[in-house]
Structure formats: C-alpha cells, structure tokens
Structure 1
Amino acid sequence: MRYYLLFFSLFFIACENLNSGWEFDGGGYVKYKLNGKDSYELEYDANDVILPTTNRHFILAKTQSNSSGHSLTFMVYSPKLGRNSPVYTETSFSFATGPKATLTGDSNFITIDQKDDSTWTADLSLFFVDCRSGECVDSLPAIHLTGRFRYWLPEE
C-alpha cells in the first residue's frame, strides 16, 4: 500500500505543472538578431501585450529588460494579416539598458501571419537609430532588428 501511495504522490508532483506555461498562462517571446549577428530572446508576460478589442484598434507589445539589458516595444495600429507598418512614436528598442532607440527610415514592417483567439505570430524587420554607445547617433548606420514574435493568449 505504501508503494502505491508513494507512486501516486510522485506522479502528481511530476504532473503538477503540466498545464502551465505560455500556452496556458499567456505570454510569449521574440527571438531576434541585430544586423544579422548574435541571436537574442526577450520574453513577454501575459500582461505585457495589449491586443485589439472592439474598442481598441492596436497591438502593443512591451518587453521587460532581459539579462542583456535589451528591451523592445512595438505597436501596430489596425493590425491585419500580412505586412503592417509599426507606429513610429510607440516603437523603440533599448540596447543594454541604454537610451531608447527610435525607428529610422521607411523600410520598417511587421508581418503578422497568425492572429486568432489563442496565438499571435509575426516577423519583425525594424531599423533603429544606433544608441549602443550610450547616446543616439543619427549619422551612424541604422541597427537592423530581424526577429520572430510569438504570443499566446491566456486561457479563459
């Protein structure tokens, strides 16, 4: 009898967090590269992303800084499947806890390929002013951020 009790106890402990994670609790990540080099990942909590509703017509995603100190905020007004333009005044990137870099140029886009009741996914191609030295320098070549965004809505 003790063995059965021990087995079931271990089974329940092992399965305790089976229904947890982004797919159930909400949240996600963006995996990205800067100028095609080094890969990074930023995570989103369930409350870091604001999605469109009947009264709100935008998506706004804000990450917290990760161990590299990077953080990313992007916004798309009236998001649709396919290529979207980010809102320039609401989209920024911080390099290693430095100042917020703003978008530059007119080749910025966010391509949304899934937006439904459970998951949003998109490819990012954003050009930011170079602020890696601790100050933003418009005369330096732009930093090209390319990445993949995935976000799961919390289960009701």
Structure 2
Amino acid sequence: MSHVLHPVTLQLPATLNSLTTLGHALRDFLTPLHLSEGWIYPLDLALCEAASNVIRHAYRDDAGKSYRVSFAGDAQGITVTLYDSGLPVPEEKLQQGAPTGEDWPDAMSEGGRGWPLIFASVDSVHYQRGAEENQLTLWRALPPGH
C-alpha cells in the first residue's frame, strides 16, 4: 500500500440515520487508496448491515445508545471494527458463515439475510463477546496493486 492510512474511530448514535454518516466515513477513510466503487460497495454493505444489526437487535432501537466504529488499513487489507455494549449476537447467527447457492434465505422472507450478506461481502468476519462490550471485526483484502 503506497498510501498511509491513519486509523480512525468514530462514535455514532444507535439510529438508522447514522448509517449514512457511517458510509461517508468509510469512503472518506478509503479516499487515499483510489479504490473502485465495485471494491468499496461490498465492505460498505457488510458494515451498514452489521451496524443495523447493532441498532435493531443489540440495542433494540434504543436511540439513547451509541456504538463505535474504527477503520484501519495495512498493505494486505482494510479492517473495520464495530463496538457496542448491547445484547450479544446469538451463536447460531455466527455459525451460519457465507451462504452458497441454495443456502441463501428466501428472497420473500421478512428477514434473515443480514448475516449471510455480511459473510458474503468480506473476506473475514470475527466476533468477540467481552464482559462489557461486543466487538465485530470485518476484513477485506485489498485488490492487487494496492
């Protein structure tokens, strides 16, 4: 990676309106790398879906709460980590992994596509439950030549 990316951390309110700010912050962080939208979009999708899960499920739409997001990068890839103090992710969601072929949830179902989208959009997903904080780390490999 020829550009130096300085780690960035921001704190956002646990509202769906924060997702726009989150998407802009990701793109601002990635600007020095001159990545294509085709590369950025899957990471943005995974990040916004994960943040939406924090807002809706971990915090149960409690707008008085907030979550943190950190962005970091190195020569291999981009790491985005979300931190929240809400309810932990159910174990069965974490074991789903990336869907293949017919494993995708029914397109007409009301929900259930979030975790499959997250796993399918990035190269690595790591979740850690702490005593006071949940941590979800998404990693996406940079394209060759970056």
Q: TM-score range by the shorter chain?
A: under 0.3
Higher strand share: 1
* TM-score normalised by structure 2 residue count: 0.25
Q: Which has the higher contact order (CA 8 A, sep 6+)?
A: 2
TM-score (norm 1): 0.24
Larger Rg: 1
